[in-house]
């Protein structure tokens, strides 16, 4: 199950560039989010592990980025976490990965939740990011405002969104003609991944995040999703409570090892 969800989440939150190296997936996106700028050690390494780590460090250093490994209990080799700790890598961002069975549940979003969806992308005819991906402009602007993203950082986020291939849904909740909460859903192989759920700081504790979730879950179920998954940091009690109330349950955890 860990490998399945990890592969789905790699597709749902793509890097700008990806390098496969002896079983490991190395992702690069100009430094925007650790998920898109880290080593994912999903598959067995055939060569020398220490040499593999050193090679990864060199590649990230050449990009002006710290070497970061995204770790789970399924990482290979099994002693990789200990090896990284011995090299001075710090432990960071302990995160719960949670799953929800959609079969026996119904979701009805309120009228002020709008859903902007698009089908799976075709490969672009020319090099570069695909054109016309259908990210709603008001959703993108609201996300930038709510996350305080500007300039290069906002453009890096937009570039990641532009490269998502599976079916995607952008949910937005409007209060007094302004988006107060939004979120993103990515559907692949019957699994709906939920990302970027956020509510304006002055609009929290009003159930808006739950309403956005209902919109995304209803959209996914209508399109054949049997399960939904998400990732939430363990130091975020409000989000943990929200997802538990919806019925999500932890299936595994991940963390990062970050080279100083």
- pLDDT at 52 > cutoff 50: yes
pLDDT of res. 121: 52
What is the spatial order of strands in the sheet that 249-258 belongs to?
A: 17-21, 24-28, 39-40, 68-71, 249-258, 90-101, 227-233, 191-199, 178-188, 167-175, 113-118
Q: Tell me which of 58-67, 126-135, 150-159, 222-231 is least confident.
A: 126-135
pLDDT digits (tens, 9 = 90+) for 9-20: 999 999 999 999
- pLDDT at 170 > cutoff 80: yes
pTM: 0.90
Are 183 and 193 a contacting pair, CB within 8 Å?
Answer: no
Are 257 and 89 a contacting pair, CB within 8 Å?
Answer: yes
pLDDT digits (tens, 9 = 90+) for 175-230: 999 999 999 999 999 999 999 999 998 988 899 999 999 999 999 999 999 999 99
Percentage of residues in the chain having pLDDT higher than 70:
93
pLDDT of res. 126: 35
- pLDDT at 131 > cutoff 50: no
- pLDDT at 48 > cutoff 80: yes
Domain ranges of the chain: 2-95, 104-225
CA distance 91 to 26: 19
Q: Which CATH superfamily is domain 104-225 in?
A: Gcn5-related N-acetyltransferase (GNAT) (3.40.630.30)
Give the chain as a DSSP string. Answer: -HHHHHHHHHHHS--SEEEEETTEEEEESTTS-STTSSEE--S---S-HHHHHHHHHHHHHHTT---EEEE-TT-SSTTHHHHHHHTTPEEEEEEEEEEEE-TT------TTEEEEEEPPPPPPSSSSSPS-----HHHHHHHHHHHT--HHHHHHHHHHHHT--SEEEEEEEEETTEEEEEEEEEEETTEEEEEEEEE-GGG-SSSHHHHHHHHHHHHHHHTT--EEEEEEETT-HHHHHHHHHHT-EEEEEEEEEE--
Q: Tell me which of 42-51, 109-118, 235-244 is least confident.
A: 109-118
Mean pLDDT of the chain: 90
pLDDT digits (tens, 9 = 90+) for 105-129: 889 888 899 898 776 655 443 333 3
pLDDT digits (tens, 9 = 90+) for 81-95: 999 999 999 999 999
Of the pLDDT bands very low, low, confident and very high (cuts 50, 70, 90), residue 104 is confident
């Amino acid at each position: 199950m860990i490998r399945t969800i990890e592969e789905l989440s790699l597709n749902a939150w793509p890097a700008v560039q990806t390098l496969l190296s002896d079983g490991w997936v190395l992702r690069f996106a100009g430094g925007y989010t650790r998920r898109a700028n880290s080593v994912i050690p999903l598959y067995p390494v055939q060569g020398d592990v220490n040499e593999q780590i050193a090679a990864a460090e060199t590649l990230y250093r050449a990009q002006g980025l710290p070497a970061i490994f995204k770790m789970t209990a399924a990482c290979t080799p099994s002693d990789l976490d200990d090896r990284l700790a011995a090299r001075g890598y710090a432990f960071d961002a302990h995160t719960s990965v949670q799953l929800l069975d959609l079969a026996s549940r119904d979701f009805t979003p309120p009228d002020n939740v709008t859903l902007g969806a698009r089908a799976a992308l075709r490969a672009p005819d020319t090099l570069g990011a695909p054109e016309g991906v259908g990210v709603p402009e008001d959703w993108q602007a609201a996300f930038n405002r709510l996350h305080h993203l500007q300039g290069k950082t906002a453009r890096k986020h937009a570039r990641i969104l532009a490269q998502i291939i599976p079916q995607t849904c952008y949910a937005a909740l409007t209060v007094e003609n302004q988006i107060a909460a939004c979120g993103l859903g990515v559907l692949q192989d019957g699994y709906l991944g939920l990302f970027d759920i956020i509510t304006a700081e002055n609009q929290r504790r009003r159930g808006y995040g739950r309403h956005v979730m209902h919109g995304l879950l209803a959209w996914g179920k209508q399109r054949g999703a049997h399960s939904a998954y998400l990732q939430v940091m363990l130091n975020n009690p409000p989000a943990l409570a929200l997802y538990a109330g919806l019925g999500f349950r932890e299936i595994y955890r991940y963390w990062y090892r970050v080279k100083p």
